[in-house]
């Protein structure tokens, strides 16, 4: 199901000139494996699109970010994640191409998405 969600997101973006994707997928229930499956589906269809998925459940919030290799020298997934984690008080880590983290405060999902979008707006031209 997570892969299907990712495919639908990717299809909705295929013919746009979006420079990045920041989305909230609460139907993934902040499950790391579900987030990974959804992001994998998006990246498969749109390999050059930086992606940030935020997902909240009743007890936690999860963030997963991927940045294409071609952009990872200039823009780091880990740096993008740190901005998100600052907004939600979470912890995480990763590499320039992939980063993930969690927070115990699911009420901060909207702020996390907003922080991710604002950061991406200034880093992906």
Domains of the chain with bracketed CATH: 2-123 (3.10.310.40)
**Cβ(37)–Cβ(4) under 8 Å?**
no
Distance, in Å, from the CA atom of 68 to the CA atom of 2, rounded to the nearest integer, reads 21
Taking the CB of residue 9, how many other CB atoms lie within 10 A of it? Answer: 20
Distance, in Å, from the CA atom of 83 to the CA atom of 119, rounded to the nearest integer, reads 7
**Mean pLDDT, range 97-101, rounded to an integer:** 98
Residue-wise DSSP of 61-80: EEEEEE--TTTTTTS-HHHH
Question: 65-91, pLDDT tens digit by residue?
Answer: 999 999 999 999 999 999 999 999 999
Question: 39-55, pLDDT tens digit by residue?
Answer: 999 999 999 999 999 99
């Amino acid at each position: 199901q997570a892969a299907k969600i990712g495919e639908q997101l990717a299809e909705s973006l295929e013919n746009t000139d979006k420079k990045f994707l920041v989305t909230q997928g609460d139907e993934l229930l902040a499950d790391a494996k579900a987030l990974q499956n959804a992001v994998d589906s998006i990246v498969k269809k749109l390999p050059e699109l930086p992606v940030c998925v935020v997902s909240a459940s009743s007890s936690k919030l999860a963030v997963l970010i991927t940045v294409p290799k071609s952009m990872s020298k200039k823009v780091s997934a880990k740096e993008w994640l740190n901005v998100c984690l600052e907004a939600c008080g979470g912890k995480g880590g990763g590499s320039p191409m992939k980063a993930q983290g969690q927070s115990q405060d699911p009420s901060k999902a909207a702020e996390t998405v907003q922080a991710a979008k604002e950061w991406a707006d200034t880093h992906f031209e």
